[in-house]
Amino acid sequence: MTALSAESRLRRLLRVFSQTGGEGQWTRPFDNLPVETRAYLLERAALAADELPVLAFFRGPEQWVLVSTERILLSQEHGFRSIPWRDLENATTDTAHVQAAGSKLSLSRLRLQLRDAADLEVDVEPGPPFFGLWNVLKTLAVLRRE
DSSP character at residue 32:
G
Per-residue DSSP letters for 103-128?
SGGG--EEEEEETTS-EEEEE---SH
Residue 65 has pLDDT above 50, yes or no: yes
Banded pLDDT at 73 (limits 50, 70, 90): very high
CA distance 53 to 129: 17
Residue 1: the pLDDT is 46
CATH of 6-144, one of 2.60.40, 2.40.70, 2.30.29, 2.40.160: 2.30.29
Give tens-digit pLDDT for 8-20.
Answer: 999 999 999 999 9
pLDDT score of 17? 97
Q: Where do the domains of the chain lie?
A: 6-144
- The pTM of this model reads 0.91
E strands along the chain, which residues? 27-29, 53-60, 63-68, 71-76, 79-84, 88-92, 109-114, 119-123
Residue range 80-122, pLDDT digits in tens: 999 999 999 999 887 676 667 777 878 889 999 998 878 889 9
- The predicted-structure confidence for 42-56, as pLDDT tens digits, reads as follows 999 999 999 999 999
Percent above pLDDT 90 for the chain: 71
